């Protein structure tokens, strides 16, 4: 499938939510087209470049974003609420005359129904506490505390690590490996007993 790409300084995960402030014309046009056609766009972490100005170079793996709502509090500034859908890998890309990146992408398989292994269940009390504290606005229902992929994505969203580390965790194919890395990281910092 072909989608527009929104390079960002952060990472969106499947099942996650993100607030975006859009003001560059290329992205205002992209958002309008996506809302009109009920079509997703891709969010990718910036590999090099900046969010504003010349088109940034995106990482090859990103997440489809669906616009849940949009509001224009002042002329030329669009506030979007988006939710993450499937992960994808960029196969090829081109830059339009307005600076918008369009990419041919392949959707990545999401492992379904893999339970959180006993060895990583120590992660669950921390995640449940964070979900209770943040509420459904930040971590929307349904909550799937028994699903290894969902637990890994939610924990990765909240751990205080650099965006590149979050990107590497997004790229992992195996949700149990993601949980093992998170458990090690959080245990070393005494956030999990």
Q: Return averaged pLDDT per consecutive 10 residues of the chain, 193 residues in all.
A: 96 96 94 96 94 86 97 92 97 95 96 92 95 91 95 95 96 96 94 80
Residue 57 · residue 34 · CB < 8 Å = no
Question: In 10 A of CB 100, how many CB atoms?
Answer: 20
By DSSP bridging, strand 61-74 and strand 17-22 are unpaired
Stated pTM of the model: 0.92
By DSSP bridging, strand 41-48 and strand 77-95 are unpaired
> Which pLDDT belongs to residue 60?
97
> Which pLDDT belongs to residue 110?
86
């Amino acid at each position: 499938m072909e989608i527009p790409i929104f390079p960002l300084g952060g990472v969106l995960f499947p099942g996650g939510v993100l607030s975006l402030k859009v003001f560059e014309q290329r992205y205002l046009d992209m958002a309008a087209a996506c809302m009109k056609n009920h079509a997703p766009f891709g969010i990718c972490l910036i590999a090099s470049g900046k969010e504003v100005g010349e088109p940034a170079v995106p990482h090859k793996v990103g997440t489809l974003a669906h616009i849940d709502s949009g509001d224009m509090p002042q002329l030329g500034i669009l506030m979007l609420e988006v939710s993450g859908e499937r992960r994808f890998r960029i196969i090829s890309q081109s830059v339009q005359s307005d600076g918008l990146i369009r990419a041919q992408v392949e959707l990545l398989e999401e492992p379904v129904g893999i339970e959180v292994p006993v060895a990583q269940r120590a992660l669950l009390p921390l995640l449940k506490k964070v979900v209770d504290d943040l509420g459904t606005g930040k971590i929307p229902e349904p909550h799937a505390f028994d699903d290894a992929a969902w637990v890994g994505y939610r924990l990765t969203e909240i751990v205080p690590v650099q965006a590149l580390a979050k990107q590497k965790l997004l790229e992992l194919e195996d949700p149990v490996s993601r949980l093992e890395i998170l458990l090690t990281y959080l245990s070393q910092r005494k956030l999990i007993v």
